[in-house]
Amino acid sequence: MNDCIFCKIIEDKLPAYKVYEDEKFMAFLDIAPVNPGHTFVVPKKHFVSLSDVPKEYTADFMTVVKKVGDAVMEAVGVEGFNLGMNNGGVAGQIVPHVHMHIMPRVESDGLKLWPSKKYSPGEDKQVAQKIRQALGQDHEEN
């Protein structure tokens, strides 16, 4: 049996304030919002994290995020929002059904962005090379 709370919301077995639905995606309010209008966009099929989402979903995912994000801004009367997706427990993912947070922002709402670190000398070049290798783009010398 699938114990995923988001699957249960999608299947109407748990309540949520749903705001959007199409063939592949659904959007509903976060139960504990950063600000009113904080909304999730989720694929209706169960995938744990972005790494599990197949190509047939990825472009449409962002199309729906943009559509819902614009509607949220208009509905709650804000001029900006953050997107957030926690992939994996180490990244703070609590609900193991991939979801994009759309978080409307208002001045001085207290939401802090991530802290920043410094690279040690040469570390940035090495990391960039490894990422290019992982992407099969290691022919370039930067």
Question: Which residues are identified as catalytic?
Answer: 99
Please identify which residue in 46, 67, 105, 132 interacts with Zn ion, judged by CB under 5 A.
46
Q: How far is the CB of 91 from ligand 5GP (least distance, A)?
A: 8
Nearest approach in angstroms of CB 7 to ligand 5GP is 11
69: how many CB neighbours lie within 10 A of its CB? 22
Q: Please give the full DSSP string across 29-64, using - where no structure is assigned.
A: E-SS-SSTT-EEEEESS--SSGGG--HHHHHHHHHH
Q: Applying CB under 6 A, which residues contact ligand 5GP?
A: 5, 16, 28-32, 86, 92-95, 99
Residue with smaller CB distance to Zn ion, 64 or 78: 64
In the chain the first and final C-alpha atoms are separated, in Å, by 50
25-29, strands of its sheet edge to edge:
18-21, 25-29, 39-43, 100-104, 81-84
Q: Which is nearer to ligand 5GP, 5 or 53 (CB)?
A: 5
Between residue 65 and residue 104, which ones bind Zn ion under the rule CB under 5 A? Answer: 97
Which CB, 19 or 132, lies closer to ligand 5GP? 19
